[in-house]
Homo-oligomer: A and B are copies of this chain.
Amino acid sequence: MESCKNKDYTIDNEQLARFAKAMGHPARITILNYLASMDNCYFGDIYNELPIAKATVSQHLKELKDAGLIQGEIETPKVKYCINSENWEKAQAYFETFFALKTEKTTCCK
């Protein structure tokens, strides 16, 4: 019957997935938690919170930055990272909306 399956994913679903993917690693959750609750947010501090090599920390930070959840600023000789508030709130709204979809539903199976 070949039903019309040339659907693409919606922009919103892509964006939510992007945020979720960025959060999809314990190191990155730890980083975000740390940044969300601290004022001091230098690379070295973050590195000390994590059980991984600094090269790897740098990579995770890059991914979070690419996803828009954090931002960095050079403060020679250190690098200061922090939450990107604008996108943080955007992400929060995305997740909130997403989970709210379910609310009043009855379970459909089992």
A33 an interface residue at 8 Å Cβ cutoff?
A: yes
Q: Number of A interface residues, CB 8 Å?
A: 59
Please judge, given known A-B contacts A83-B105, A99-B91, A110-B73, whether A13 and B39 are in contact too, CB under 8 Å: no
Check if A95 sits within 8 Å of B99, measured CB to CB. Answer: yes
Chain B residues within an 8 Å CB radius of A99? 88, 91-92, 95-96
Check if B102 sits within 8 Å of A7, measured CB to CB. Answer: no
Q: Chain A at the B interface: mostly helix, strand, loop or mixed?
A: mixed
Chain B residues within an 8 Å CB radius of A10? 30
Please judge, given known A-B contacts A37-B101, A73-B109, whether A20 and B21 are in contact too, CB under 8 Å: yes
Check if A80 sits within 8 Å of B51, measured CB to CB. Answer: no
Closest chain-B Cβ to A101's Cβ sits at a distance in Å of 4
| Known contacts A9-B27, A73-B110, A83-B108; 6 further A-B pairs (Cβ under 8 A) | A9-B29, A9-B30, A13-B26, A14-B26, A36-B102, A81-B109
